[in-house]
Amino acid sequence: MADYDYDLFVIGAGSGGVRASRMSASYGARVAVAEERFLGGTCVNVGCIPKKLFSYGAHYAEDFEDAAAYGWTVPAPALRWKTLIDNKNKEIERLNGIYRNLLEGAGVRLYEARATIRDAHTLDVGGETVTAGNILIATGSWATVPDFPGNEHVVTSLEAFYLDELPKRALIVGGGYIAVEFAGILNGYGADVIQLYRGDMFLRGFDQDVRTHLAEEMGKKGVDLRFNANVARLEKTSAGLVATLEDGSSIETDCVLYATGRHANTAGLGLEDVGVETTANGAIVVDDRFRSTVSNIYALGDVIDRFQLTPVAIGEAMALSANLFKGENRQMDYADIPTAVFSNPSIGTVGLTEEQARNEYGAVDIYRSTFRALKHTLTGSEERTLMKLIVDKASDRVVGCHMVGPDAGEITQGLGIALKCGATKAQFDATVGIHPTAAEEFVTMREPASD
Catalytic residue ranges: 435
Peptide bond just before 448 cis, omega within 30 deg? no
Q: Which residues of 206-224 are buried (b: 16+ CB within 10 A; e: fewer)?
A: bbebbbebbbebbeebebe
CA 48 to chain centre: 6
Which amino acid, 10?
V
334: CB partners within 8 A, 6+ apart: 306, 307, 312
What string of DSSP letters covers 124-177? EETTEEEEEEEEEE---EEE-----TTGGG-B-HHHHTT-SS--SEEEEE--SH
Q: Are 423 and 398 in contact, with CB atoms under 8 Å apart?
A: yes
Q: Rounded to an integer, what distance in angstroms lies between the CA atom of residue 96 and that of residue 45?
A: 8
Strand order in the sheet with 250-253: 231-237, 240-245, 250-253
What string of DSSP letters covers 195-242? EEESSSSSSTTS-HHHHHHHHHHHHHTT-EEEES--EEEEEEETTEEE
Q: 385-392 and 398-404: which strand pairing?
A: antiparallel
Q: What are phi and psi of 399, to 5 degrees?
A: -110, -5
Q: E strands along 12-88, which residues? A: 31-34
At 183, is the secondary structure helix, strand, or coil? helix
**Nearest CA to 419 among 352, 370, 330?**
352
Which amino acid, 58?
A
